[in-house]
Amino acid sequence: MAKNTIGGTKTSIKKIATYVGLSIVFLIYMFPFIFTIINSFKEKKEIIKTPLKLFSEKGLNLDNFVKAYEKMDFLKAFTNSMIVTVSATAIVIILAAMTAYYFVRINNKISKIFFALMVASMIIPFQAIMIPLVSIYGAKLNLLNSRATLIFMHVGFAISMSVFIFHGFIKSSIPIALEEAAFLEGCSRTRTFFQVILPLLKPTTATLVILNVLAFWNDFLLPSLVLTKDKLLTLPLSTYKFYGTYSADLGTIMAALVLTVAPILVLYIFLQKYIISGVVSGAVKS
Amino acid sequence: MGIKSRKESLKVFGIFALPGLFAFVAVVIIPFLYGLYLTFTSWDGISSETNIIGFANYVNVFKDTEFWKSLLLTLKYVVCSVVLVNVVAFFLGYVLTSKIKGVGFFRTGFFTPNLIGGVVLGFIWQFIFSRVLVSIGTTTGIDFLSSSFLADPTKAFWAMVIVTVWQTSGYMMLIYIAGFTGISADVMEAASIDGATGFQKLKSVTIPLMMPSFVICIFLTLSRCFMVYDLNLSLTGGEPYGTTIMSAMHVYNKAFTSRQYGVGQAEALILFLMVALISGVQIYLGKRKEVEA
């Protein structure tokens, strides 16, 4: 009996120590966000003098946010990011699912060669392609400064990984008997794909939507090479530009950073379970 | 399979595979091949004619001391980041899979930095390093913190590493958690019955069984860190005095600022080959060490 109690205290002390340690590490991880938010309510003078003070002298002063929202044209940048992210994600998912389905079911030479090419291309970093990309689409074809070009490029770069993950899922989990039944009933291949196969791909689709949305929404280098016109800038681009122009105006900068981060954090609060499991299955599969 | 004629099979190819393959070939394959060609030309980014100049660009790469300096710095950064990211992530994953409550909350929090792009994170940390930490340093009298990290070459380098560890460890932690959860309780129990202590279990049972997770995590951190650009641009911008310019930034400047597209592309290719080689060796060595439970 006595021995049990001692063992019990020992584990509970260990548990408390674990919690204390974890909480400290957690605070360190949250530290940059906390101080950015705190200071977004302060005036420049106050930030420079006392960046550590938890509450602003003026309380919840939203002036910085109003100014940042207007000056960085937040709504336009947000809309641009939405248009690019949503269309690129939708297109890449549909095209990747169809291509992967083709690769699995029509096992000819073309399928084998292109599947191998796609898998191999996944290790090519974007920087190894960006210079010729700009020279082809800029100097030769003059297609830069257009949302459609950016969306097309996002699709081209993201499709390999999406095809790879769909390929694995279709091959292992979609029984061919289902399609054969649909064919026997006179369904065309296209209709069979959209009405029978695509709905079955839902779990993989969810994973890929999450991975692609995060990648497109946050991408900086590719959009910065494609888009230069102010009215087309996505959120990361307009934040970068804003920072360069207003870097002396600390309060507004802090508010702009909070505004930029806010949409994705709000989404994360509601979808954290899906986002985390999506990221894990994406990483483990590829 | 429902495909009878040649016409029919072409139609299926056209509907299903062609659109996706077109985007892939137009954006990845053609630029990649064209990039190889560019390295043999003296294109400046504007003129319509491109002169073939043989291997002159590659000779220039070897003479470009700034490139080799940036490469050395990148290697140093990659080694420090890969080690620290994985140690921190492994440790977090280990603690978060020991039976405690609130795991979901901590996991969600540690992963948060991964949701945000490198540029914005760099700006946030720039503020932390140049204002918040300095203020902590001056109020507490800790000399080490009282001047900005970003004003000193060595400290600015470590600032890059710190932000990378902070950002990437939460992601790798998720993969390690998946690995830890995959180890069967039976194996651990068997080890306990055989009298293994906590540390022995970790060293002789857990770590060997976690090899696949290590291989994935090291591969992901390696390839991410080698190509770091966004964070480099917004956190240090290569400053102070151009001492923190990593390879990716050097390549970008070479092509788009100095307008030496051929040399820039040759450097980008060398960088790519190095990453491919190093991650290939890493995966090969890691796979050899994998064991079955």
A222 or A17: which leads in pLDDT: A222
- Judged by CB atoms closer than 8 Å, whether chains meet at A128 and B17 is answered as no
- Judged by CB atoms closer than 8 Å, whether chains meet at B117 and A102 is answered as no
What CATH superfamily classification does A68-285 receive? MetI-like (1.10.3720.10)
pLDDT for res A3: 44
- Judged by CB atoms closer than 8 Å, whether chains meet at A110 and B38 is answered as no
Mean pLDDT of the A206-229 span: 89
Nearest to B244 by CA among B151, B112, B125: B151
Q: Does B90 touch chain A (CB under 8 A)?
A: no
Of A25-29, A63-67, B25-29, the least confident = A63-67
Interface probe with B: pick from A13, A131, A141, A191, most Cβ of B within 10 Å: A131
Q: How many CB atoms lie within 10 A of CB A18?
A: 14
Cα–Cα distances (Å) from B68 to B36, B65, B249, B251, B255, in that order, read 21, 5, 13, 11, 16
Query: Is residue A7's pLDDT more than 70?
Result: no
pLDDT for res B210: 84
Q: Does B45 touch chain A (CB under 8 A)?
A: yes
- pLDDT tens per residue across span B187-246: 878 888 888 777 787 778 888 888 888 888 888 898 889 888 988 998 888 788 778 888
Mean pLDDT of the B136-157 span: 78
Q: Does B100 touch chain A (CB under 8 A)?
A: yes
Mean pLDDT of the A120-146 span: 85
- In chain A, the residue whose alpha carbon lies closest to the alpha carbon of B249 is A127
- In chain B, the residue whose alpha carbon lies closest to the alpha carbon of A182 is B2
Bridge partners, B41 (sequence order): B52
A90 or A230: which leads in pLDDT: A90
How distant is the Cα of B27 from the closest Cα of chain A, in angstroms?
5
pLDDT for res A220: 92
How distant is the Cα of A12 from the closest Cα of chain B, in angstroms?
11
According to DSSP, residue B236 is labeled I
Touching A: B residues 179-218, CB under 8 Å: 216
Contacts of B224-227 with C-beta under 8 Å, sequence gap 24+, read B224/B168, B225/B74, B225/B77, B225/B78, B225/B81, B225/B82, B225/B164, B225/B168, B226/A125, B226/B74, B226/B78, B226/B271, B226/B274, B226/B275, B226/B278, B227/A125, B227/A126, B227/A127, B227/B271, B227/B275
Q: Are A75 and A167 in contact (CB under 8 A)?
A: no
pLDDT for res B2: 47
- Judged by CB atoms closer than 8 Å, whether chains meet at A129 and B20 is answered as no
Mean pLDDT of the A135-146 span: 82
pLDDT for res A86: 95
Please, what is the end-to-end C-alpha distance for chain B in angstroms?
A: 41
The top-scoring range by mean pLDDT among A155-159, A168-172, A201-205, A272-276 is A155-159
Query: Is residue B247's pLDDT more than 80?
Result: yes
Q: Are B123 and A257 in contact (CB under 8 A)?
A: yes
Sign of the torsion formed by the C-alpha atoms of B172, B173, B178 and B184? positive
- Judged by CB atoms closer than 8 Å, whether chains meet at A26 and B139 is answered as no
Percent of chain A with pLDDT over 90: 22
Rounded to the nearest 10 degrees, what angle do helices A202-218 and A147-173 cross at?
A: 150
Report chain B's C-alpha Rg in angstroms: 24
Alpha-carbon distance of B25 to A157, in angstroms, equals 10
Residues ≥6 apart with Cβ < 8 Å to B260: B44, B60, B254
Place A5 in a pLDDT band, splitting at 50, 70 and 90: very low
- pLDDT tens per residue across span B84-119: 999 999 999 988 887 778 888 888 889 989 888 888
pLDDT for res B125: 92
Cα torsion through A43, A44, A49, A53, rounded to 10: 40
List CB contacts (< 8 A) between A264 and chain B. Answer: 115-116
- This model of the complex carries an ipTM of 0.84
A38 or A104: which leads in pLDDT: A104
> Average pLDDT of chain A?
85
pLDDT for res B76: 93
Backbone angles phi, psi at A53, to 5 degrees: -65, 130
- Judged by CB atoms closer than 8 Å, whether chains meet at B271 and A127 is answered as yes
Angle at B209 between CA B207 and CA B212, to 5 degrees: 100
Of A61-65, A153-157, B115-119, B232-236, the least confident = A61-65
- In chain B, the residue whose alpha carbon lies closest to the alpha carbon of A179 is B1
Q: Are A257 and A239 in contact (CB under 8 A)?
A: yes
The full DSSP string for A235-249 is: HHHHHHHHHHHHTT-
- Judged by CB atoms closer than 8 Å, whether chains meet at A102 and B16 is answered as yes
> Average pLDDT of chain B?
84
Query: Is residue A2's pLDDT more than 70?
Result: no
A244 or A217: which leads in pLDDT: A217
pLDDT for res A97: 94
Residue whose pair of structure tokens reads 């794909």 in the numeric block: A193
Mean pLDDT of the B70-78 span: 92
Please, what is the end-to-end C-alpha distance for chain A in angstroms?
A: 52
A275 Ramachandran zone, left/alpha/beta (phi>0; psi -120 to 50): alpha
Alpha-carbon distance of B235 to B241, in angstroms, equals 14
pLDDT for res B49: 67
Cα torsion through B97, B99, B102, B104, rounded to 10: 30
Angle at A186 between CA A181 and CA A191, to 5 degrees: 85
Q: Does B116 touch chain A (CB under 8 A)?
A: yes
pLDDT for res B4: 61
- In chain B, the residue whose alpha carbon lies closest to the alpha carbon of A19 is B100
Cα–Cα distances (Å) from A278 to A55, A215, B85, B107, in that order, read 37, 13, 21, 14
Alpha-carbon distance of A95 to A102, in angstroms, equals 11
pLDDT for res A164: 92
Indicate the residue of B106, B121, B132 with minimum beta-carbon distance to A52: B132
- In chain B, the residue whose alpha carbon lies closest to the alpha carbon of A185 is B2
Bridge partners, B52 (sequence order): B41
List CB contacts (< 8 A) between B45 and chain A. Answer: 135, 139
Query: Is residue B163's pLDDT more than 50?
Result: yes
Indicate the residue of A139, A190, A214 with minimum beta-carbon distance to B115: A214
How distant is the Cα of B236 from the closest Cα of chain A, in angstroms?
13
A186 or A47: which leads in pLDDT: A186
Indicate the residue of B20, B136, B251 with minimum beta-carbon distance to A95: B20
Which two three-digit tokens encode residue A49?
């003098």
Which two three-digit tokens encode residue A262?
């806010």
pLDDT for res A183: 84
The full DSSP string for A122-139 is: TTS-GGGTHHHHHIIIII
What CATH superfamily classification does B58-289 receive? MetI-like (1.10.3720.10)
Q: Where are the domains of chain B?
A: 58-289
Interface probe with B: pick from A94, A110, A117, A127, most Cβ of B within 10 Å: A127
A194-214 per-residue burial string, b: 16 or more CB within 10 A, e: under 16: eebbbeebeebbebbbbbbbb
List CB contacts (< 8 A) between A115 and chain B. Answer: none
Q: Where are the domains of chain A?
A: 2-64, 68-285
Query: Is residue B3's pLDDT more than 60?
Result: no
- pLDDT tens per residue across span B15-65: 888 999 999 999 999 999 988 888 888 777 666 667 777 777 787 778 888
Mean pLDDT of the A38-58 span: 73
Q: Does B87 touch chain A (CB under 8 A)?
A: no
pLDDT for res B243: 82
- pLDDT tens per residue across span B262-274: 888 888 999 899 8
How distant is the Cα of B187 from the closest Cα of chain A, in angstroms?
22
Indicate the residue of A47, A123, A132 with minimum beta-carbon distance to B276: A123
Q: Does B178 touch chain A (CB under 8 A)?
A: yes
